[in-house]
Amino acid sequence: MKNLLFILFAASTIMFGACGKGQTQRTNTNLTATEFAEKTHELSGSPVLDVRTPDEYSKGHLQGATNIDWNGNDFQKQVAALDKSKPVFIYCLSGGRSSAAANQMRSEGFKEVYELSGGIMKWRAANLPETTNSSASGGMSKQQFDALTNSNKMVLVDFYADWCAPCKKMKPYLDEISNTMADRLVLVRINADDNQQLCKELNIDGLPVLQLYKNKKLTWTNTGYIAKEDVLKQVQ
C-alpha cells in the first residue's frame, strides 16, 4: 500500500512539474535577423514598424515597413490605432529604440510584439533585402576608406549614428583626444546609416565601433561603449 501511494505521489509530482513548465514557457519575441524575416513571412499581413527617424527610414528600410518615429510627437497616437490583439513587428537601427518602444507597447496591452535583435544593422549584415525612398549614393567606398587609414599618423575610426546614445556620450572625449593628439592621431567619424555598404564590407553590425590603425594596419577594435581612459591606453 505504501509503495502504491509513493508511486502515485511521484507520478503526480512529475505531472505537476511538467504542467508548471508548460505554463511558464514563453514565446521568444527577440529575434535574430533570419528569425525576424521568417516570422514576418509566417505572419504576413502583420504590421512592421520602423521606429527610426524619417530621414533614416528614407535611406533604407524593410519592405512594407511603416515609419513611426519613436522620438516623434505622435508615436503613441499612431500606435494606438493598431490592433493590440494581433502580432506586431518592430525594429530600429541597432535595437535600442525598438526595445524601448516594444516595452511601452507591451505595457499598454499589446499581446505579441516581435523585436529585431540588433536592428537593421544585423539585417544588413545578414544580406537580407531592404528598400529605399531615396536615390542617395551608398556613401564612402572601401577604396576611399582605405585611403583615409593610409596615414603615417594613428587613425582612430569612429562608426556612429545620430540616434546612438553611447555614440553621443563618447563623442566629446573622442574630439578631445583628437585635439590634444593632433600631431600624431587622426579621428575619422563615419555615420553608419549614411555608409551602409561600407559597414557591410567591414562587418560593422553594431554601434558604436572604434577601430585603431597604426602604421596603416588595424591593431585594435571595440564594439559598444568604452570609457575615455580605456581608449587612451590604446593610442599611447
Residues noted as catalytic: 164, 167
Short-list 54, 25, 49, CA closest to 36: 49
Phi first, then psi: give them for residue 223, nearest 5 degrees: -115, 130
Asked if 123 and 53 touch (Cβ cutoff 8 Å), the reply is: no
> Helix, strand or coil for residue 119?
helix
Report in angstroms the alpha-carbon separations of 62 from 58, 76, 119, 153: 11, 21, 11, 40
Element (H, E) at 213: strand 209-214
C-alpha–C-alpha distance, residues 12 and 215, integer Å: 70
Side chain identity at 5, as an amino acid letter? L
Asked if 191 and 164 touch (Cβ cutoff 8 Å), the reply is: no
Asked if 126 and 34 touch (Cβ cutoff 8 Å), the reply is: yes
C-alpha–C-alpha distance, residues 41 and 90, integer Å: 14
Per the listing, cell 500500500 goes with 1
